[in-house]
Structure formats: structure tokens, C-alpha cells
A and B are shown apart, each in its own frame.
Chain A
């Protein structure tokens, strides 16, 4: 009998820590070699940790949502044979780089010792399974009226409650009673005073004051951090302009109607991407990464367009790299591929990083205006709103036109309002006369 310690693996790319997002096992479970033990998440990717040995889980070193340093003890397994123990020790030693700093080692040893103590204690109490976590008691609910009064019944209430109601100008016949036999309590009166008759219980309706604590972990936490960072660091300027996309939509429809079978169906985004490439050629400062701590703007030659994508687990931004080197169809193909990958959770780290400017589109839901949050540390984001047929005055009459708003945000530290407007106006011109996207002036 011996133990096997599994540490947080190095998931690469100079990452110092990873967040534990899922446990596949619990203390007391028997695991087979290669069975999945846990999932950890780094900046971009989720990594599953398999078990290197057969054994029984003795100790888990982190809770879901904990950020664990690479090399910290994560799981202790009890293995059944000497061989396993030996290999366990090997495994223990193996990943340690020879130049591992002393203090970290000491720390790790300390952690191991501590867990030894835990193991010992658990061993003594071995026959007893880990107590099953008590099922969470249902959230305490506002007491509900039990027996409803019959029509015409006098409300049942103590004289003190009646007096309070009288002084508050409340007709007790309107107040549901939660007490035995529908008795109206002081609490019922409080509830009625606070929420009025409807909240206090029109037939069939009841207040739900339950609060569920949901740990913000994984992707959601990263989105939260990122949004907070972007909004706190970047003074946004948002500029909204409407674009007449009638001609563009006609073109798109024609292309989709006449395209070769293997080609993807075009949405408006590939046109926008190509228009952005053109506009960026004239205003390269908008295709940039601003390292505000260093005080340096990294203006990129390549246009790597992040596409904000809603996935089952939250917002992800896969990146169409080198849009400047892709034609319309290529942009569309890559866009589709990335969107699928992101939604399926198959997008790689590379595919989810490195953008220099971002498009955000809510698609058919698009709305009239959005105030997009810049994908930090970029300096610009272009938001696409919904295409609507609106009446447009052509000088003599109203004509129906397909109109679309662009809601775009810029880092005002780097981009002046003038430049922002210029950029959007350029895109507008290109989209309104789509031939200009493809023809060199």
C-alpha cells in the first residue's frame, strides 16, 4: 500500500497557474489508470487530467474555481501495490526540473506532509465513508398562506394585528394569512405593507425569496475579469452610424444564389471584414494592441479579426487570422470553421488569441444600437446591428431601404473621435457601394 501524488501539470506556454473547473472524482472513488480526474483551465484552453495509475482517491487539493499553481499537489491516490508505489514515487520526482528552486520544493513537501496527516486521520476512520454532503435544504421561502379564507369569512387575526392594520389603513380581508386556519400574523401584515396585495399573494402567486449562490468559474470568470479590465482601463468612445446595405444585400443574395456548391453561404460579416481590411489600410492605427503599462502601441500589419461568438458556455472570440490575405470566400469559410469550433469547444488556444481588432454581432437579434466593449488590449471593436427595412427620404419621396446600424467603440486614449468617425464613415461608404470593397481606387 502506498500513495501517489498528482500535481498540477504544466499545461505549457509559460503558464504559472490554472483554474480547476471540474472534478471528475471525489474522495473515496476508485479510479483506473487513464480515467479522467479533473479539468483545469488556463488562459485559453481546458485541459483534462487523467490518472496515471489505478487507485483510490484519498484527498483532493482544491475546490472548483480555485486557481492552482503549476506543480502544486492536486490529488492523492492510494495505490494497491509496491510497483505502483514505486512508479508513483517516480512520477513524483520525474517532472521536477533539476533547477527547481528550494523554496518551492520545501513548500511542496510541506503540503505533502499536511496531506499525510489528513490521510492518516482518514485511514483511522476508514470504514466510514465520507459523509454525503447534506442535500441543500430548499431555500427558505416566504411563508405562504395556508388555508385560504372562504368568501365572506372574517379574517382571523389577533387584536394586536387588527389594531396595527387599522392604523395602517389596511383592510384585513385583503391580507392573506399564513398562520394556522389562515390566521393573519404580524409577519403577514409586514409583507403586505412591504409588497402590497399582489406580492403578498394573489391567488396562485407566491413570493420566491430564494437566493442561489453560483460560483463564477471558468470561462465565465475569465469573461468577467476581461470585461472589468476593459471597462476600467479603456475610456470607450462609441460611435453609431447607419448604413444603407440595400446594394450589399442584393449583391450578397446574387452571390449566394450563384455560388459554387462547396462555397459557404455568405453572411454580411465577410463583406464587413473585407471592408475593414480596406479601411485599416488607410488608418492602420486602429489595428493595434495598446500596451498601456509600457506606453507602447503595437500597430500590426496583419489584420487578425476577432469574431465575438456566443457559445454554450459563454462569450468566446475566435480569430480569423490575416484577413488581409483572405478573399471574401476564404473569410467566410474561416469564419464558419472557427465559429463551429468555438461552439463545439474545439477551438485551440491559437485560434482563440492574437486578434488585433474585433467584430461583434448579435445577428438577427442585433437590436438598434449596442455599446460594445473593446476586446482589451485592442483599440477598436465594430458592432453590427440588425438590418431593417426603413423608409428613407431620397429627396422627393420615402423609399424602403435595407438599413443597418454599426455601433463601434474605440479606445479614446489612442483614437480621437474624428479618427473613429472617419473609420466608420469609410466602412459605410464601402458597404453602401460594395463594388468599392473589391476594386482598387
Chain B
């Protein structure tokens, strides 16, 4: 097979890799992208997209269950629904499929050459790819490592049998009767909630003192409340020890030190993700590492010249939109533009019920760095639109510097607040002051009004509370 020479080689067609390749192609950079599986990476195939499809289906199902269960204030009467999970999964797969071909189309449109197979470095400038038709050598002036991440396995609880990762959870063909989720982070809670809504009896086992430990208690309280309402049992300070006898139970060491056996049809392990730093020839390179991650600088350059790394393989936050922004930047750097990572905020969203969105600094963050802050918090209970959606739980909170009112961070918890991340991100990225938000007309009736009101409240000028 004839060797390929190119200016830019991207290893991994996840959100970081494919965006990098598309942008490079647009800029006229001769680009090749290598992907072992389908384009789109974790996010599109076994992450963000399919989980949101499943969450949505579960939400719809739960809503109807709720409406059918008796008197509801909306006056809707219906009968108990049923869910055909294989059908749901098939629908999810069509969405994933559409996006797969969408990404392929975009790459093609940008004149990026796609090579399918597993890439392996020979040296810093040469990569060999095992393709279906043989070994392909690719030489490149610049290489971007975008190999992503994979679910972490617990030592006493290897994947297989009833023990599944998020990947398998998204392709289950039946709703498990009893599901134990190990790990109360956002992935575990999102999926646990979805399965609970579809009828599973869900138990969450979390080693820390509370769920979603990266968020403050104010933000997670509405989620905890909802988990309880859904009948999800949350065990904190509990450690999964291994499978019980027969593989149909999980042994858990509780807070008090006693061991209990939780009967489980499926055990979903969501204790985090690890960077994929093996299996692609890293040992052939001399890359500085940053813990388990590849060390990068503010231009995503690794310790080797012409070698970049982006996305989950470079560290937290492991979020698709961070990888995309990195990919875009690296493509422009390779095309000769002056770029540097100067983003102010990477929004983070939990698609729990209710949703949590966090941009920039929380009050705790600000306190940690010793900043004097001004905080405004406005509850959805005082927001008309939230009332009409039966979504009064939650609030919007804005954190700003006390001296000049520069907005440092914005968080919200509530139904559908994920879409507010756009406004929050823009405000922080543009360097808005509280007065800017307070002075912007927010359409009525929307949940976004709570954003404006939170700013007004921080200024002592709230109108609707």
C-alpha cells in the first residue's frame, strides 16, 4: 500500500479530532484522519448523544406514567404506557447513524482523507494504520493525538456479565429490574435516572459523602430530592467490593463498615473515565505526562515538536466541547495562525433531573481564591414559565466580583436549564458585569428571566421576588 504524506494527521475522530480535521481542511491544510470505529467518538456513539436520546425517551415515558397514575393538575387522562426498549434503542441508533454520516460528510466536504483502522506511532512523524486492506503508513508534519477516554474499570468489578459500563447501558434491550449504579457522578445519575424512569429499581452507590461532589450542595439538592421521588436509593460513603454469589448481587461496604449485598440484575459502573494512552504506540514517543494525561501547553503542544494532543487524553474537564475548541485551535495553529487557549469558561451540564449547568466560578471557588464576591440567586418558584412547566424546582445563581461586578460564574439547576448554558457562557466569555445582564431584556415568559433576576437581585434591585 502506498504511503501517505500529509501536513496534518489526526488520530481519533471524536469531537476533538473531527473538528480539528474539518477546520484544518477548511483552511487548506492537507489533512488525514484515522479512526478505528465510527466517526464521532465516545460522544456521538456511546456518550452524549445516545444517552440524551435515552434520557429523553425515559422522560417522556415517565411523564405519561405520571399522568396515567391518577389525578394530575393538567387534567390529562391516559392509560399506563409501555416501553419497547429495543425500539427505543433502534431509534437512538438511527440518530447516532445520522450523525455518523453527518460527520463523514463534513470531513469529506472539507477534503479530509479518512483512513479507517487502528493507528500506531512508529515515531513522532510516522504512523502505521492497520486497515481492512492492510498496513497503511502515514507520514505527517504534524500529528494530533485525539484518542479520547474510556470508562474506568473497578479492580474488583471487571466489566462483563452483569457488570456494564455506560456503553453497554446505552444498548440494553430490556430494562433491568434491579440496577445498581456504582458511582454517583453525572454519568451514573443520568443513566440511573433514565432507567429508574423506565421502571428499574435503582440504587446508587457513591463513595463520597454526597452525589455530584464537584457541585455544591445547593445545586445538587433538587437532584437528590428528585432521585428520592423517583424511588432511587442513594448510598453515600459506600464502597463496591465485588460481585456477590451467583453474580446477581453487589457487595457493598457501607458507611458503618458493614457489608451488604445489593441484589442486581445489572451493575452499571460509572466511576469515571481514563484517558486512552495505551494501544497506539505511545511507548515509541517521548511524551511528558501530567498524571495519567498527556501534558500539553496553552497551544495543545506536547513535549514533542509537531505533536499535539487534544480532548480527554489531555485531562479534565473531559467534555466534548472543550475538545472541539482545542481541535479548532490546533487546526488554526497548524495552518499558521496565531492562536492560544484563552477561554474563560467551559460550561458543564448534567442532564440529570433536574438539569444542572455550571459556568465559571462557584461561590466556593471564589472563596477558595479569596475573592470578595457578590452573589444573586433567583428561584424558579418565582418564575412564571417554570410554573407553567411544573418545573419550579431550582434556581439561577450568579457570582460576581464585589468590586467591579465582573461576572465570575453562573450556575443553575432546574428543568431544561441546559439551554441556558449558551447565555451563561456568553456572559462570562464576553466579560459581562452584573449590570450588563440586569440591563438586558430577557424575553417573557421564559426561564431565562431568572438569569436577569439573579443579576438584579445581586444588585439589590430584584423585581419579581
For B433, list chain A residues within 8 Å (CB).
Answer: 180-181
Given contact pairs A180-B435, A181-B401, A181-B431, A167 touches B406 in the complex (Cβ within 8 A): no
B86-94, B120-128, B334-342: which one contacts chain A? B334-342
For B338, list chain A residues within 8 Å (CB).
Answer: 166-167, 169
- Give which listed residue, B401, B430, B435, contacts A158 with CB less than 8 A: B430
**Is the CB of A306 closer than 8 A to any CB of chain B?**
no
In the bound complex, do residue B339 and residue A180 qualify as a contact, i.e. CB atoms below 8 Å apart?
no
Interface of B is mostly: loop
Complex-state Cα separation, A159 to B428, whole angstroms: 10
In the assembled complex, how far is the CB of residue B107 from the closest CB belonging to chain A, in whole angstroms?
25
**Is the CB of A183 closer than 8 A to any CB of chain B?**
yes
In the assembled complex, how far is the CB of residue B458 from the closest CB belonging to chain A, in whole angstroms?
14
For A157, list chain B residues within 8 Å (CB).
Answer: 431
Q: Which one of A154, A157, A180 has the greatest number of beta carbons of chain B within 10 Å?
A: A180
Given contact pairs A166-B339, A166-B342, A158 touches B429 in the complex (Cβ within 8 A): yes
In the bound complex, do residue B429 and residue A159 qualify as a contact, i.e. CB atoms below 8 Å apart?
yes
**Is the CB of B404 closer than 8 A to any CB of chain A?**
yes
Complex-state Cα separation, A181 to B288, whole angstroms: 39
Complex-state Cα separation, A157 to B430, whole angstroms: 6
Complex-state Cα separation, A159 to B403, whole angstroms: 23
**Is the CB of B153 closer than 8 A to any CB of chain A?**
no
In the assembled complex, how far is the CB of residue A118 from the closest CB belonging to chain B, in whole angstroms?
49
0/1 per residue, A171-183, Cβ < 8 Å to B? 0000000011111
0/1 per residue, A303-321, Cβ < 8 Å to B? 0000000000000000000
In the assembled complex, how far is the CB of residue A169 from the closest CB belonging to chain B, in whole angstroms?
7
**Is the CB of A147 closer than 8 A to any CB of chain B?**
yes
Given contact pairs A166-B339, A166-B342, A169-B338, A182 touches B430 in the complex (Cβ within 8 A): no
Complex-state Cα separation, A154 to B340, whole angstroms: 14
**Is the CB of A278 closer than 8 A to any CB of chain B?**
no
Chain B count of residues within 8 A CB distance of the other chain: 17
Complex-state Cα separation, A162 to B337, whole angstroms: 14
Which residues in chain B, 66-111, are within 8 Å of chain A measured between CB atoms? Answer: none
**Is the CB of A68 closer than 8 A to any CB of chain B?**
no
In the bound complex, do residue B406 and residue A156 qualify as a contact, i.e. CB atoms below 8 Å apart?
yes
For B344, list chain A residues within 8 Å (CB).
Answer: 154
In the bound complex, do residue A182 and residue B404 qualify as a contact, i.e. CB atoms below 8 Å apart?
yes
In the assembled complex, how far is the CB of residue B430 from the closest CB belonging to chain A, in whole angstroms?
5
Among residues of A, the one whose C-beta sits closest to the C-beta of B430 is A158
0/1 per residue, A145-164, Cβ < 8 Å to B? 00100000010111100100
In the bound complex, do residue B337 and residue A167 qualify as a contact, i.e. CB atoms below 8 Å apart?
yes
Among residues of B, the one whose C-beta sits closest to the C-beta of A160 is B430
For B322, list chain A residues within 8 Å (CB).
Answer: none
Complex-state Cα separation, A245 to B194, whole angstroms: 108
In the bound complex, do residue A162 and residue B405 qualify as a contact, i.e. CB atoms below 8 Å apart?
no
Which residues in chain B, 368-417, are within 8 Å of chain A measured between CB atoms? Answer: 401, 403-406
Which residues in chain A, 117-159, are within 8 Å of chain B measured between CB atoms? Answer: 147, 154, 156-159
Given contact pairs A180-B433, A180-B435, A162 touches B401 in the complex (Cβ within 8 A): no
In the assembled complex, how far is the CB of residue A176 from the closest CB belonging to chain B, in whole angstroms?
14
Complex-state Cα separation, A166 to B339, whole angstroms: 7
In the bound complex, do residue A166 and residue B429 qualify as a contact, i.e. CB atoms below 8 Å apart?
no
**Is the CB of B259 closer than 8 A to any CB of chain A?**
no
**Is the CB of B436 closer than 8 A to any CB of chain A?**
yes
0/1 per residue, B426-463, Cβ < 8 Å to A? 00011101011000000000000000000000000000
- Give which listed residue, B342, B403, B406, contacts A162 with CB less than 8 A: B342
Among residues of A, the one whose C-beta sits closest to the C-beta of B406 is A181
In the bound complex, do residue A159 and residue B435 qualify as a contact, i.e. CB atoms below 8 Å apart?
no
Complex-state Cα separation, A191 to B56, whole angstroms: 51
Q: Which one of A166, A167, A169, A181 has the greatest number of beta carbons of chain B within 10 Å?
A: A181
Complex-state Cα separation, A208 to B430, whole angstroms: 29
Complex-state Cα separation, A342 to B337, whole angstroms: 69
For B429, list chain A residues within 8 Å (CB).
Answer: 158-159
Name A residues whose Cβ lies closer than 8 Å to a Cβ of B: 147, 154, 156-159, 162, 166-167, 169, 179-183
Name B residues whose Cβ lies closer than 8 Å to a Cβ of A: 337-340, 342, 344, 401, 403-406, 429-431, 433, 435-436
- 15 A-B pairs (CB sep. < 8 Å): A147-B403, A159-B429, A162-B342, A166-B340, A166-B342, A167-B338, A169-B338, A180-B405, A180-B433, A180-B435, A180-B436, A181-B404, A181-B405, A181-B406, A181-B431
Known A166-B340, A180-B435, A181-B431; 14 more pairs at CB < 8 Å = A147-B403, A156-B406, A156-B431, A158-B429, A162-B342, A166-B338, A166-B342, A167-B338, A169-B338, A179-B431, A180-B433, A180-B436, A181-B401, A183-B431
By Cβ-Cβ distance, the 4 closest A-B pairs, closest first, are: A156-B431, A181-B404, A181-B406, A183-B431
